[in-house]
Chains A and B, each alone.
Chain A
Amino acid sequence: MIAVLQYNSGNIMSVKVALERLGHRAVITSDPEVISIADKVIIPGVGEARSAMKHLKERGLDRVIVSLKQPVLGICLGLQLMCKYSEEGDTKCLGIFDTSVKRFPDGARVPHMGWNDFVSLDKDPILKGINLSDDVYYVHSYYAGVNEYTTAVCDYGIEFSAAMRCDNFFGTQFHPEKSAAPGSLILENFIGL
């Protein structure tokens, strides 16, 4: 069973529907027991870091997430919440990835919205089979820089983490659930772990 974390984030339905399109059953839940026994956990994310962390903390979900041992995938804001700190709302986050999230500097159009590619560093099983020419869909104003957990790099004026991994925790800054065939492959790779 795949648990999609229910919290005050925007695109929870999109993730559930994407999984169902691929033939997988997904449960939207904020129940710590259901999350703990799920085979896989996905933390979707469109929203704002400070209110999202507040929501998770009030329900004790922050402690539940960091204690998970099964594969966990954070998408977009989900990835950012797994970092230590976000400039968005000056927010202390979950600290799974020991790195900070910053706002794109002036100069580039923000949000970084649309289809962009990434360079895979070939060490992330969920990116297996993705080619350099494959584009995925991004929409975000904040980013995690390239760091020791980075498994794929995207270039938008500055280089940032398109994907990260720390043990059983995976993150994508892009939205696999909205990224056509390459996105579906990444979701399948994650589910197949």
Chain B
Amino acid sequence: MLKKRIIPCLDIRDGRTVKGISFVNLRDAGDPVELARAYADQSADEIVFLDITATHEKRKTLAQLVEKIANAINIPFTVGGGISTREDVSVLIRSGADKVSVNSAAVIEPRLISSLADSFGSQCIVVAIDAQFTDGEWMVCINGGRKVTGLRALDWAGEAERLGAGEILLTSFNRDGTKKGFSIDITSAISDRVNIPVIASGGAGTMEHFRKVFEETSCSAALAASIFHFGEILIPDLKRYLQNNNINVRL
């Protein structure tokens, strides 16, 4: 049986791991290569690396770091942050990334998704959606949450799938960094709308939050950052807990 995936996310800036509350007040949580190796040893199912400052600072994700990570771990990993062209993707894939995630650039130019899917295959194109609950609707926000678009998150997810996305990484911007739990409503709505895998992100604070998102939505994976980085939840403990609650995970 296909297992539900647990994915630690490493936010990267200047080659180091950072995580703050709602993407500000950054704290240094270590060397990404060392952390990646530690997570692979702890049975993390995948790792996501996001260059969180890339979009507004126009910084390219470091291909060298990707190469070091590829050398260090034997599980899949995704790289995102500021990706806007085929060349960006090509460099990362050649450096050893299994998947890339696109966010703002795809919202601005949706055909980027189909162009990337045609060139590299849908399976390595993750569309990251940052969703913000505004005036009774979940809307897509871009540029690290600084700009709310007029696009409904549910519609955008459907469009991303139609254009060839292989997976959706859905972050609830209202919950990100709050440790109040995943946003069940939008995660459920998008998981039911699309036929590609959906990764739930934003708000994980306890093991119960993971159980709830897997029990109450049909998402394929759940992602978290600081609770893993600072050892508040250990992935092996989380997986045993989920297994004991009849959620199939890789132990």
Binding site for B on A (CB under 8 A): 10-11, 13-14, 17-18, 20-21, 46-48, 106, 109-117, 133, 135, 137, 139-141, 155-156, 175, 177-181, 183-184
Flag if A114 contacts B45 (CB, 8 Å): yes
Flag if B250 contacts A135 (CB, 8 Å): yes
Q: A17-B71, A135-B250 are in contact. Are A112 and B2 (CB under 8 A)?
A: yes
Q: Which residue of B lies closest to A106 (CB)?
A: B195
Chain A residues lying within 8 Å of B250, measured Cβ to Cβ, are 115, 135
Chain A residues lying within 8 Å of B76, measured Cβ to Cβ, are 137, 139, 175, 178
Binding site for A on B (CB under 8 A): 1-3, 5, 40, 43, 45, 70-71, 74-76, 93-96, 98, 120-124, 166-167, 195-197, 220-221, 250-251
Quote the shortest CB–CB distance from B97 to chain A (angstroms): 9
CA distance A183 to B124 in the complex (A): 20
CA distance A139 to B124 in the complex (A): 9
Is the contact region of chain A dominated by helix, strand, or loop, or is it mixed? mixed
Taking a contact as CB atoms closer than 8 A, the residue among B5, B71, B98, B123 that contacts A115 in the complex is: B5
CA distance A184 to B197 in the complex (A): 26
Closest 8 CB pairs of A and B: A115-B250, A135-B250, A115-B3, A139-B123, A116-B2, A13-B96, A178-B76, A111-B123
Flag if A21 contacts B121 (CB, 8 Å): no
Taking a contact as CB atoms closer than 8 A, the residue among A156, A177, A184 that contacts B2 in the complex is: A156
Chain A residues lying within 8 Å of B221, measured Cβ to Cβ, are 114
Quote the shortest CB–CB distance from B69 to chain A (angstroms): 10
Flag if B1 contacts A113 (CB, 8 Å): no
16 contacts between A and B (CB under 8 A): A10-B120, A11-B93, A13-B70, A111-B122, A114-B220, A115-B250, A116-B1, A133-B251, A135-B250, A139-B123, A141-B122, A141-B123, A178-B74, A178-B98, A179-B75, A183-B74
Q: Which residue of A lies closest to B70 (CB)?
A: A17
Chain B residues lying within 8 Å of A10, measured Cβ to Cβ, are 93, 120-121, 124
Is the contact region of chain B dominated by helix, strand, or loop, or is it mixed? loop
Flag if A47 contacts B121 (CB, 8 Å): yes
CA distance A114 to B99 in the complex (A): 13
Taking a contact as CB atoms closer than 8 A, the residue among A11, A13, A109, A180 that contacts B197 in the complex is: A109
CA distance A20 to B74 in the complex (A): 11
CA distance A110 to B74 in the complex (A): 23
CA distance A180 to B250 in the complex (A): 11
Chain A residues lying within 8 Å of B195, measured Cβ to Cβ, are 106, 109-110
Flag if B166 contacts A21 (CB, 8 Å): no
CA distance A111 to B168 in the complex (A): 12
CA distance A139 to B120 in the complex (A): 13
- A46-B123, A111-B197 known, 15 other contacts, Cβ within 8 Å: A10-B93, A13-B95, A14-B96, A17-B96, A112-B2, A113-B167, A114-B2, A114-B220, A139-B123, A141-B122, A175-B76, A177-B74, A180-B43, A180-B75, A181-B74
Quote the shortest CB–CB distance from B116 to chain A (angstroms): 12
Q: A115-B2, A155-B1, A178-B75 are in contact. Are A14 and B70 (CB under 8 A)?
A: yes
Quote the shortest CB–CB distance from A107 to chain B (angstroms): 9
Chain A residues lying within 8 Å of B43, measured Cβ to Cβ, are 180
Q: Which residue of A lies closest to B96 (CB)?
A: A13
Quote the shortest CB–CB distance from A33 to chain B (angstroms): 25
CA distance A47 to B123 in the complex (A): 8
Flag if B96 contacts A46 (CB, 8 Å): no
CA distance A112 to B122 in the complex (A): 12
CA distance A181 to B45 in the complex (A): 12
